Amino acid sequence: MNDAIDMPGGPACWMVAVGFLAGIAVLAVRLERVQIDSAADSRRRMAVQSERRVQTDAPRGRIIARDGSVIAGNRASVSIAVNAESFQKRTWSDTAAGIREAIDAASAVVGRPSPVTDRDIMRHLKQTLARPLVVWRDVGPDELARFSEHELDLPGFAVVEREERVYPNGRLAAHLVGYVGRDRAESVAGDEAFRYCDMEMRGRSGVEYYYDGYLRGVPGERRLLVDARGFAHDETTIVEAKRGPDLELALDLGVQSAAEAQLEGHKGACVVMDAATGEVLAFASAPAYDPNEFVPVLRKAVYEGLSKDPAKPLLNRASGGTYAPGSTFKPITALAAVHSGISPSFTYECIGYYQCGKMKIRCSRTWGHGPENVMTALRDSCNPYFCYLGTAAGTNAVVSAARAFGLGSGTGLDFPTDAAGVVPDDAWKRDRYGERWFPGDLAQMSMGQGMLLATPLQMARVAGALGTGLLATPRLIAGMAPELKPLPFTERELGAVREGMRMVVAGGTGKKGAENVDAWVIGKTGTAEVGAGATRRKNTWFIAYAETCEHGADGRPRRAAFPERRIAVAMVVENGESGGGTTAPKVCEVLKSVFGTLGPEPSEAGKEDA
């Protein structure tokens, strides 16, 4: 080796080498800190800048009727969208111009100009750059075929599918089912967590609204990788969206159609309820609307047309329309009186009117019914009898009987609209009108007029309770545990009222309410007068309770010991003639849809009997 004794720099060689190793060691230690100790932090910061979480819409559960047919389902809706990353230019305006050009070129292929404006494109670039921009929504099969044929010539365009709500039965049960709208989704996991959320379907009314959380399902998650400018780079599905479960309603489409057919051309409502369980079998409100018009978005013109229609098709009359119950309230007055100690055979002579102070309340038969008891008064719907009976029982008795039947408060229906109605008393009247309770008010209330208000749903419940002695909480969902509350009346008291109501359909005011129905039926008519002078009109009611019957030797329905089905019906028709004339025959048809029709022979026997 060269050991030139004199040659300098020997120590420098190993000093430098040691220095190199020391320097590398310093770097290694630093790298250990950056790459090992703060790796998780760096990954997080990387994710914050390059990852965008996208909440994806879950398909909505279907709404199904009792027989399994679909009332609210989903259909695939195809859209054509454009992805901005295929048009990246140095400036945003050049990028936007490129997209515009591509959309115009694609319009020629699809055969429909796109509603996307230049402003939409700029807004998309600023706000939702990493997501596809929908150019044509709800593309038809022809347009899709033309697009697919030229798809290779249209880089950057893609077909996007999503599910839209569809109501196969159109108007049928529209108010019950409700409708959906699309809205900016609420981020499930906090505000920052999701950068983009699909517009999600949300129930806006009816069952769609009430059971929205159940139907909605669990949103999925996708992760977008974006580059430094924000363009999408890659996309992966992290969590698949979970379809919402189907909701099975108690609704019986046969009964529902029958009820709606009867209300066709009228304004009114009909509720049919299983009196034993509270399950709602029909829930009709007329006029109705087609909920399909609300999907995917409710157009302003459609909404204005519906909301300005004087017939108020958007109003849900079944549980949101409050009407004076009229004479259908009389069984309650009767129960209040009987319960307060008045005998059902108590006789009062109807002379055609009832004098209450200066007020004269007229009876439907101007010359009077003559002597009446509770049963015959129900049969004849005699006003003076019930004015007298109610007055004799007193305000407290009538009010508490009305409340025992669930009037004056919501029914507890699993539904957004559940009007309470009004059961007036002294305190209510003072609060509302600043006026004390007069005997005339009690007389009016005793025959279901005055300030008393109830919904068809409430009255169906009343009918059911009169039949079974149990007040059922109405339910829209099939198979829920029934909630039944016993009425504070004895079987004997109820029996007297049932006898009266049986006489109503057997030959009284409501004899058209149960003609040829293969069931044991009791009912009550009601003709409530509303307004005064020129706006004076009549809302006509019929409520009925019917149960499966046995047939006697003559073939006539006879009450069974253990009836299989117990049904309550309430129907109101606005601006009718009379409860017995207008509404009772309609209810009769609804009852037939449940129980069927009796053969011709018994019907003749029935007529002879009447």
Q: Does 238 bind other proteins (CB under 8 A)?
A: no
Residue 91 is a binding residue for other proteins (CB under 8 A): no
Nearest to 350 by CA among 362, 332, 338, 337: 362
Q: Is 530 within 8 Å of 538 (Cβ atoms)?
A: yes
φ, ψ of residue 194 to 5 degrees: the values are: -105, 130
Element (H, E) at 360: strand 359-362
10: contact with other proteins by CB under 8 A: yes
Considering only residues 139, 177, 226, 374, which one is a binding residue for other proteins as defined by CB under 8 A?
Answer: 226
Burial tier of 470 (Cβ tally within 10 Å: 0-12, 13-18, 19+): middle
Give the interface segment with other proteins, choosing from 1-9, 92-100, 123-131, 558-566 (CB under 8 A): 1-9
Q: Is 89 in the site for other proteins (CB under 8 A)?
A: no
Instruction: Assign residue 230 a region (left: φ > 0; alpha: ψ between -120 and 50; beta: otherwise).
Output: left
Site string for other proteins, 533-572 (x = CB under 8 A): ----------------------------------------
Nearer to other proteins, 47 or 108 (CB): 47
**Binding status of residue 105 toward other proteins by CB under 8 A:** no
The string of DSSP letters for 534-551 reads GG-EEEEEEEEEEE-EEE
Task: Compare residues 92 and 428 and give the one whose CB is closer to other proteins.
Answer: 92
Residue 1 makes contact with other proteins by CB under 8 A: yes
What is the closest distance, in whole angstroms, from the C-beta atom of residue 1 to other proteins in the complex? 6
Q: Which stretch binds other proteins (CB under 8 A): 9-17, 189-197, 418-426, 446-454?
A: 9-17
- Please give the angle made by the CA atoms of 486, 487 and 493, to the nearest 5 degrees: 130
Backbone angles phi, psi at 396, to 5 degrees: -60, -40
Nearer to other proteins, 233 or 607 (CB): 233
Q: Is 39 in the site for other proteins (CB under 8 A)?
A: yes
| Shortest distance, position 45 Cβ to other proteins, whole Å | 5
Site mask for other proteins (CB under 8 A), range 41-60, x = bound: xxx-xx--xx----------
Residue 179: count of CB within 10 angstroms of its CB: 23
| Cβ at position 32, least distance to other proteins in Å | 7
What's the rounded Cα separation, in Å, for the pair 83 and 262?
A: 53
Q: Answer whether 590's CB lies under 8 Å from 258's CB.
A: yes
How many residues contact other proteins, by CB under 8 A? 41
CB 295 within 8 A of CB 137: no
Contact 523, 544 (CB under 8 A): yes
Return the structure tokens found at 476: 């829209």
50 vs 516 by CB, closer to other proteins: 50
Q: Could you say which of 122, 166, 199, 225 contacts other proteins (CB under 8 A)?
A: 225
Q: How far is the CB of 253 from other proteins (least distance, A)?
A: 55
Q: How far is the CB of 133 from other proteins (least distance, A)?
A: 21
Q: Which of 26, 108, 239, 311 binds other proteins (CB under 8 A)?
A: 26
Q: How far apart are CA 4 and CA 72, in angstroms?
A: 100
Q: Interface with other proteins includes 366 (CB under 8 A)?
A: no
* Contact flag: residue 28 with other proteins (CB under 8 A): yes
**DSSP code for 482:** P
Nearest to 84 by CA among 50, 46, 134, 48: 134
**Closest by Cα among 575, 463, 571 to 529:** 575
Tell whether residue 36 is a contact of other proteins (CB under 8 A): yes
Site for other proteins contains 434 (CB under 8 A): no
Piece of the chain touching other proteins by CB under 8 A; list 31-39, 297-305, 433-441, 563-571: 31-39
Segment interacting with other proteins (CB under 8 A) among 25-33, 166-174, 200-208, 549-557: 25-33
Residue 197 belongs to what H/E stretch?
strand 196-197
Give the list of residues 6+ apart from residue 517 with CB closer than 8 angstroms, or none. 546, 557, 588, 591, 592, 595, 597, 598
Choice between 14 and 367, CB closer to other proteins: 14
To other proteins, the closest distance from the beta carbon of 155 in angstroms equals 15
- 32 sits near other proteins (criterion: CB under 8 A): yes
- Runs of H (alpha helix) within 340-482: 374-380, 383-393, 395-404, 426-433, 439-446, 456-468
Binding residue for other proteins (CB under 8 A) from 152, 228, 301, 427? Answer: 228
Task: Output 20 or 433, the one with its CB closest to other proteins.
Answer: 20
Of 195 and 403, which CB lies nearer to other proteins in the complex structure?
195
Binding site for other proteins (CB under 8 A): 1-2, 4, 7-10, 12-14, 16-17, 19-21, 23-24, 26-28, 30-32, 34-36, 38-39, 41-43, 45-46, 49-50, 225-229, 233
